[in-house]
Amino acid sequence: MARNCARPGCNESAAATFNFDGLRRVVWMTFLDETTGRSAGDLCTTHADRLRPPQRWELHDLRAPDAKAPVTLRSLPKPAPSKSKTPLLERAFRAARAG
pLDDT average per 10 residues of sequence, the chain (99 residues):
88 92 92 77 93 91 62 49 59 65
- Is the CB of residue 40 less than 8 Å from the CB of residue 53? no
* Beta-bridge partner residues of 16: 31, 43
* pTM exceeds cut of 0.75: no
The domain segmentation of the chain, as residue ranges, is: 16-98
User: Furthest-apart CA pair in the chain: how many Å?
Assistant: 61
**Phi, psi (degrees; rounded to nearest 5) at 45:** -60, -45
- Reduced to 3 states (helix: H, G, I; strand: E, B; else coil), residue 33 is coil
pLDDT at 46: 94
Q: What is the pLDDT of residue 10?
A: 95
